[in-house]
Amino acid sequence: MGGLQKKKYESGSATNYVTRNKARKKLQLSLADFRRLCILKGIYPHEPKRKKKVNKGSTAPRTFYLVKDIRFLLHEPIVAKFREYKVFVRKLRKAYGKSEWGAVQRLRENKPVYKLDHIVKERYPTFIDALRDLDDALSMCFLFSTFARTGKCHVQTIQLCRRLSVEWMNYIVISRSLRKVFLSIKGIYYQAEVLGQTVTWLVPYQFAHNHPTDVDYRVMATFTEFHTTLLGFVNFRLYQTLNLLYPPKLDSKAEVELKAEHEEDYAMDSESYLEKLSALSASLSRVISTVEEEEAEPDRFPVEGEDAEVLVAREKEQKEQEAQKNLFEGLKFFLNREVPRESLAFVLRCFGAQVSWEKSLCIGGTYDVTDETITHQVVDRPNVDKKYINRYYIQPQWVFDCVNSRMRLPVEDYFPGVTLPPHLSPFVEHKEGDYVPPEKLRLMALQRGERPEREQEEIEGEEDDDGGDDSQEDEGGDDDDDEEEEEDDDDDDMDDEEATDEKNLKLMEKQKSKGKTLPVTVTPGKVKLENKMRLEQEEKAEEKRLAIMMMKKKEKYLYDKIVFGKKRKVREANKLAAKRKAHDDAWKADKKKKKKKTTIGGE
Amino acid sequence: MSTSRSGVTEDAVMETKEKSGKKRVVEEDDDQLSLFKIDKDGFPKKLEKEDNDDDLSDSEESVFSGLEDSGSDSDDDDADDDDDDDDDGTVEETKDTDEESLDKDNDEEATNFETSTEQPFSETREAKLQGENASDGGKGARKARASRARGTESGKLEQAPELGGQSSGPPPQGDEYEQDTSDEEDIRNTVGNIPMEWYQDYPHIGYDLDGKKIYKPIRNKDELDEFLDKMENPDYWRTVHDKMTGADIRLSDEQVSLVHRLQRGNFGDASFSEYEPYVDFFSSETMIHPVTNRPADKRSFIPSLIEKEKVSRLVHAIKMGWIKPRQPKESGLQLYDLWAKEDPNSILGRHKMHVPAPKIKLPGHEESYNPPPEYLLTEEEKLAWEQQDPEEQKLNFLPQKFACLRTVPAYSRFIHERFERCLDLYLCPRQRKMRVNVDPEDLIPKLPKPRDLQPFPTVQSLVYRGHSNLVRCISVSPGGQWLASGSDDCTVRLWEICTGRCMKTIEVGGAVKSIAWNPNPAICLVALSFNQTVLLLNPGLGDKLVCSTTDQLIASYVEPEEEKEQSVQWQLPEDQDVEKGVRLIINHPKSVRQLTWHSKGDYLATVMPDNSNTQVLIHQITKRRSQNPFRKNKGLVQCVSFHPIRPYFFVATQRYIRIYNLIKQELMKKLSANCKWISSMAIHPAGDNVICGSYDSRLAWFDLDLSTKPYKVLRHHKKALRGVAFHKTYPLFASASDDGSVIVCHGMVYNDLLQNPLIVPVKVLKGHTITQDLGVLDVAFHPSQPWVFSSGADHTVRLFT
């Protein structure tokens, strides 16, 4: 036997990981360049399973990269470009220092540039991969497109971001793939389903940004660099799938229509074109101009058993989606000045509505306020001066709520000046035992096709709802501390019994000690009604408790944690329910008071 | 030259005669030397002088006077001139004669120079002769003459000596002032820039270039002279005293006007105009005439060969296609169908290790601009939220409600959050974690149902009341009819189990620490300990025959012949004690904590926890003999126990249980209980398993066949364990704890050695109330029934059946 003794940390996980500094040294890059490379190539640190082993026995906090990743970076052509750029900067500085303007110009002309095409391809080998990872790219592009063109980043970047985001929105409009919209206090969340992938992005409200000082815009710019490239390619591909021209062109008909109106307001044709595109009011031209063909019916294969059910459910879902796509089909909207035009136009167009707005607001309005065929006007002010009879005046939330509930909601709740019903997040999926706000329940009822109760009935309905809530709460309560309570109950019962017994005993003893002459009286015994079910439950609970006692320490810990988590969940739900109940009670009391007042006033 | 040399030799001879004369000669010699030098290169200068004679006269003067730092020099110039002139007239004769005597064959110029060089000497002489007044008086006339002479030919001649004077550095001795025409600094006195007071007491005021002393002028001007001078001399105001030479100098008109100009702050040169128009040499206008009239070079007409070669090389390179015109730059993003030829199988190896970035969590109802009212935070929650660290906050924003979309402001942390996401994407280490969805029910071990393990005590059926203090110990008679309990109220009570009736109460002299019924059913004897005493008690209950045989057994003791020295005293009780039932008294040196019987009922072991080596004693009742089994005890002994079958003895110290073989007298095993302080111990009736309870609320089960470590450690109780007990026949064991509960467990030991004992907790018995942080103090099983007795700090003994 024998052989050399194996040294520590020379095989296994210790050799699979490398610290950041070592990686940097191996790549011969500065930290900034290394970071940029990591961002572009999508290299991120890995958390080793056995950190101490990887860290060669030390427990110092270090970030580790996979050795494979770093080795893979070694052959990256961009690294050479980074170095070239470094040299370029040095030369440029020198030329500036010597005031050699000719040299400066020559150098500038030959400024090294790199392309990210191959990286996009490499990071996303298939198109679906790219779509799957589009969330961040979209959010970033939408954010950058709202930046003012001053200082924080290159104007070209902002313009590119704007262009790409407009293209994306146009694609979503044409493919009608928007699914959910959510107005949050941070911005507007959109969720679309593109080629079967769910893509969610966040768009800030249209305000000037208050640029924070503790944000490194270079990092953001590097990310944007990659994200714009990715989004550009994705857009190209998406337009191709829909037989649309890329870069997008307005439909010739629409173009003519738009041209007639406001052309002279815009100085440059190129500028106005992007504006027109971003107005989202016109359709785009296709490579092969055809009427939208009917989608071929997918063949159906007979299936048995559970699969059939699944299939039915899926079909139903599909049908719903189809219906959702045409949610606003045939409606004509007019957006008032004070509503967020872009998001509303985008959402409405996504579901087949026609949208227009005041000419002074933006280019691309197709009809006027005075148009008699307008069905809905979106207003966000307490009252409207001039009202047209044959149209609804609604607040913008109606549009978003309709989209999320996949049906046209009754407009009554959304009239201008009316207190709006809460805007619920469409992203929450209620699981068993979660708290569901009553509005959601009502909405679900509406979706099921139940008629909504109005006014007088509403209160009752609410009460009913409340009742339902209560029952649910009770259930929740049962869920959370059924064991506990029962246990406690058992104990209490036991204690009670014992206590009574003891009391009796004591009494007897006292009497004994008092006079020794025990008045022997036989009281008729009561038949104890034993609840069999309850007994059984108690027994089971005790059994469980005893079994828990026998758990191993490790498992006990895990069990306790799980149970704690569950209990906390239930507790939170209960808290919300209690809060809601208190609120409703207060609200009702308020209402009653008001009613009384009005009646008194009336009398 | 030869003449000069001869002159020198002559001088050497004459030196003795007259100092001044010698000096002069040397002077002359020098002058001549320099003269010749100047003659050679002085020619062009003279030419120039001749050319611009007129303007030189005053421009030079102005330059010298105005721009030279020492005004005195320029004064001298004028003075020189003047003096020259009047010398011509006055001292001509004597001079001439002297000259003639020295050299005759000098040419005209030379003689002229010579005369000029001669002048200082003559001047000095004149000055010496005439005195101050004479020289001053003559100055006006001289000046007039000088101006006259300037215009004439003689002016030229006068210039020459000037030139000579300039070049000839060393001035002649005497009043150099009159002479000097040098534009250099006055270096006739070599003392340098020192305060001249240092020379006050000396006849001289410094040294000339040759190192000879410069004497002070002979002057005996006293205050009176000064005054007279002031009164009489009209030029007194323009007379200046030169410290370096000690001479008075009269300033000329020009000099005075210069002083005035300088005082006024004007330029020194009166004719200098500071506002003259500036004439640029390289004017912007194109001149018709070249600046230089140099004919053009030939090479300017011929094409360059090198350039031709260069061009031809470039042309060739272009022809060959080596040089290409610059490609127009591709601007912006070039987009194409990147995934045109996508191959899902061509996924790189590293993608297998790829952990895709987790998506951002989707917002819930609380993030809505118009959330349901229950999601809004109350005031307290808001406060709590604000006080939390950003990392701890469950929501990174404050839920808010807005009446309409119009009023929703910009989210101030939008860019921040986006940036944080960016940081997460490239800085945050990623790890794939398998989250197993564990059903907590699965974690609970599958145990046999307690119902299947019956019988075991389930309900409290009897409470034995009577003690007035906590009941420390209980013991059940081997027949199972009687229960003895010892309490802190210094009594021992004997109960009938089935009825709960207290049959007897025996007062003893202290709190009863331990009590044990003799396990031999043929003997009715109870051992109990208080303080340092162990009593053997015959309660006189039950079978009369048994009681009497017990008494007989104790009485049958025969005193051995030789009394052995014993550490304890065996005593017979007094009569009244005998009445009570006490049969024997064993007095120990220290307080006895615990006692236990051997299963045969003859041996009794007592524990006196102390650091001495007599912690454990074993008494034999029949022989009334005590022995100390251990020479030395390690640690504090907590409790001891006999093996039910084999001659083994268990000793539990604070942390270990040691098992000794009493026959072989050796240590068999040492069990480590993994706990801090063992409180109690019980041995399975089969003898292969031991349980021990500890004050750190653990119960350890040892399987002696397995290892010295606990087979299982049970943490059922929440507080310290006080007592543990095995049932004699049923597979049950119980533990009593300070948390007021007795836990009964099913502890099945199989005969098959391969099968480990099965331990299942079957019942938690509660009933005792906790008083003074003490709950249940002792626990004991009924010998035949599945009943368990427990004594507590609440002065009761309880029976659970």
The verdict on A505 touching B (C-beta cutoff 8 Å) is yes
pLDDT at A507: 67
pLDDT at A105: 92
B492-521 average pLDDT score: 87
Those of residues 291-330 in A touching chain B at CB distance below 8 A are none
Task: For residue B411, give how far its alpha carbon lies from the nearest alpha carbon of chain A (Å).
Answer: 5
Q: In B52-107, which ranges are continuous DSSP H helix?
A: 53-55, 61-62, 71-90, 92-102
Q: Which of B359, B418, B742 to mutate to test the interface with A (most CBs of A within 10 A)?
A: B418
Is residue B714 left, alpha or beta, with left meaning phi > 0 and alpha meaning psi from -120 to 50? beta
pLDDT at B22: 42
B423 — pLDDT class (breaks 50, 70, 90): very high
Those of residues 423-452 in A touching chain B at CB distance below 8 A are 423-425, 427-428, 437-439
Task: For residue B778, give how far its alpha carbon lies from the nearest alpha carbon of chain A (Å).
Answer: 21
pLDDT > 60? residue B58: no
pLDDT at A483: 41
State how far the Cα of B50 lies from the Cα of A150, in Å rounded to an integer. 78
B644-655 average pLDDT score: 88
pLDDT at B540: 79
Task: Identify the top-confidence range among A299-308, A592-601, B584-593.
Answer: B584-593
pLDDT > 60? residue A206: yes
B125 — pLDDT class (breaks 50, 70, 90): very low
Is residue B716 left, alpha or beta, with left meaning phi > 0 and alpha meaning psi from -120 to 50? alpha
Tokens 């002393």 — which residue? B213
Tokens 């768009």 — which residue? A203
pLDDT at B13: 39
Q: In this predicted structure, which of A32-41, A514-523, B462-471, B507-516 has the lowest mean pLDDT?
A: A514-523
Respond yes or no on whether the N-terminal peptide bond of residue A382 is cis (omega within 30° of 0): no
Q: Mind listing the pLDDT tens digit for each residue in A11-30?
A: 888 888 999 999 999 999 99
pLDDT > 90? residue A34: yes
pLDDT at B175: 54
Q: In B52-173, which ranges are continuous DSSP H helix?
A: 53-55, 61-62, 71-90, 92-102, 108-151, 154-167
For residue B266 the two structure tokens come to 């004007």
Q: In this predicted structure, which of B111-120, B188-197, B437-446, B471-480 has the lowest mean pLDDT?
A: B111-120
pLDDT at A255: 62
pLDDT at B615: 84
Is B429 close to A140, i.e. CB distance below 8 A?
Answer: no
B145-159 average pLDDT score: 41
Burial class of residue A349 in the structure, from the number of CB atoms within 10 Å of its CB (0-12 exposed, 13-18 middle, 19+ buried) = buried
Cβ neighbours around A290 below 10 Å, total: 8
pLDDT > 80? residue B224: yes
Burial A394-421, CB ≥16 within 10 A → b, else e: bbbbbbbbbbbbbbebeeebbebeeebb
Q: Mind listing the pLDDT tens digit for each residue in A209-263?
A: 888 888 999 999 999 999 999 999 999 999 988 888 888 888 766 666 655 555 4
Q: Which residue of chain B comes nearest to A233, CA vs CA?
A: B335
Q: Would you give the DSSP letter of residue B348?
A: -
A333-345 average pLDDT score: 89
Q: In this predicted structure, which of A38-42, B88-92, B228-232 has the lowest mean pLDDT?
A: B88-92
B351 — pLDDT class (breaks 50, 70, 90): low
List the beta bridge partners of residue A333. A355, A376
DSSP-derived 3-state class of residue B600: coil
Q: At what angle do helices A134-145 and A217-241 cross, to 10 degrees?
A: 110
Task: Identify the top-confidence range among A408-412, A528-532, B151-155.
Answer: A408-412
pLDDT at B208: 82
B112 — pLDDT class (breaks 50, 70, 90): very low
Task: For residue B749, give how far its alpha carbon lies from the nearest alpha carbon of chain A (Å).
Answer: 17
Q: Mind listing the pLDDT tens digit for each residue in B509-552?
A: 888 889 988 888 888 888 888 888 888 888 877 778 888 888 88
Q: What is the side-by-side strand order in the sheet with A392-394?
A: A354-357, A332-335, A376-378, A392-394
pLDDT at B25: 41
B5 — pLDDT class (breaks 50, 70, 90): very low
B706-716 average pLDDT score: 86
B706 — pLDDT class (breaks 50, 70, 90): confident
Is B764 close to A546, i.e. CB distance below 8 A?
Answer: yes
pLDDT > 70? residue A415: yes
Q: Which residue of chain A comes nearest to B714, CA vs CA?
A: A550
Single out the residue of B509, B507, B513, B511 nearest to residue B527, CA to CA: B513
List the beta bridge partners of residue B758. B748
Percent of chain B with pLDDT over 90: 7
pLDDT at B163: 39
pLDDT > 70? residue A175: yes
B130 — pLDDT class (breaks 50, 70, 90): very low
pLDDT > 50? residue B294: yes
Q: Mind listing the pLDDT tens digit for each residue in B672-690?
A: 888 888 999 999 888 888 9
Q: In this predicted structure, which of B95-109, B284-298, B620-634 has the lowest mean pLDDT?
A: B95-109
pLDDT at A187: 93
Is B418 close to A140, i.e. CB distance below 8 A?
Answer: yes
The verdict on A135 touching B (C-beta cutoff 8 Å) is yes
A321 — pLDDT class (breaks 50, 70, 90): confident
pLDDT at A164: 92
B54-62 average pLDDT score: 40
B104-108 average pLDDT score: 43
B393 against B83, higher pLDDT: B393
Q: Which residues in A lie closer than 8 A to residue B434 (C-beta atoms)?
A: none
Cβ neighbours around B212 below 10 Å, total: 14
DSSP-derived 3-state class of residue B660: strand
B158 against A194, higher pLDDT: A194
Q: Which residues in B lie closer than 8 A to residue A232 (C-beta atoms)?
A: 333, 335
* Mean model confidence pLDDT for chain B: 75
Write the single-letter amino acid at B781: F
Residue B461: C-alpha distances to residues A316, B497, B734 (Å): 65, 11, 17
The verdict on A118 touching B (C-beta cutoff 8 Å) is no
Is A44 close to B426, i.e. CB distance below 8 A?
Answer: yes
* Mean model confidence pLDDT for chain A: 80
φ, ψ for residue B741, nearest 5 deg: -120, 155
B155 — pLDDT class (breaks 50, 70, 90): very low
Q: In this predicted structure, which of A108-112, A129-133, A479-483, B321-325 has the lowest mean pLDDT?
A: A479-483
Task: For residue B657, give how far its alpha carbon lies from the nearest alpha carbon of chain A (Å).
Answer: 24
Tokens 């030829």 — which residue? B341
Q: Which residue of chain B comes nearest to A137, CA vs CA?
A: B422
DSSP-derived 3-state class of residue B503: strand
A269 — pLDDT class (breaks 50, 70, 90): low
State how far the Cα of B162 lies from the Cα of B165, in Å rounded to an integer. 5
For residue B367 the two structure tokens come to 């993030």
DSSP assignment string, B737-798: ETTSEEEEEEEE--SSTTSPPEEEEEEEEE-PPPBTTB-EEEEEE-SSSS-EEEEETTSEEE
Determine the Cα angle at B373 with ends B372 and B374, to 5°.
Answer: 95
Q: In this predicted structure, which of A480-484, A532-536, A564-568, B474-478 has the lowest mean pLDDT?
A: A480-484
pLDDT at B544: 81
Q: What ipTM does this complex have?
A: 0.82
B404 — pLDDT class (breaks 50, 70, 90): confident
Residue B558: C-alpha distances to residues B553, B617, B623 (Å): 11, 22, 8
Is A558 close to B438, i.e. CB distance below 8 A?
Answer: yes
For residue B237 the two structure tokens come to 């105001």
pLDDT at A435: 87
Percent of chain A with pLDDT over 70: 79
State how far the Cα of B202 lies from the Cα of B216, in Å rounded to an integer. 8
Q: Which residues in A lie closer than 8 A to residue B406 (C-beta atoms)?
A: 338-339, 380-381
Q: Mind listing the pLDDT tens digit for each residue in B253-273?
A: 888 999 999 999 888 888 888
**What is the bridge-based pairing of β-strands A376-378 and A332-335?**
parallel
pLDDT at B177: 55
Report whether B199 contacts B206 (CB < 8 A).
Answer: yes
Q: Which residue of chain B comes nearest to A439, CA vs CA?
A: B372
Residue B716: C-alpha distances to residues B600, B655, B656, B697 (Å): 34, 20, 21, 8
List the beta bridge partners of residue B616. B607
pLDDT > 70? residue A267: no
Size of the A and B interface in Cβ pairs below 8 Å = 280
pTM over 0.90: no
Q: Which of B326, B336, B339 to mutate to test the interface with A (most CBs of A within 10 A)?
A: B339
B109-116 average pLDDT score: 41
Respond yes or no on whether the N-terminal peptide bond of residue B455 is cis (omega within 30° of 0): yes
Q: Mind listing the pLDDT tens digit for each residue in A467-525?
A: 334 444 444 344 444 444 444 444 444 445 555 666 666 666 665 555 555 566 777 77
Q: In this predicted structure, which of A586-590, B4-8, B306-310 has the lowest mean pLDDT?
A: B4-8
Is B410 close to A229, i.e. CB distance below 8 A?
Answer: no
Between B333, B404, B443, which is nearest A551 by CB? B443
Is B761 close to A550, i.e. CB distance below 8 A?
Answer: yes
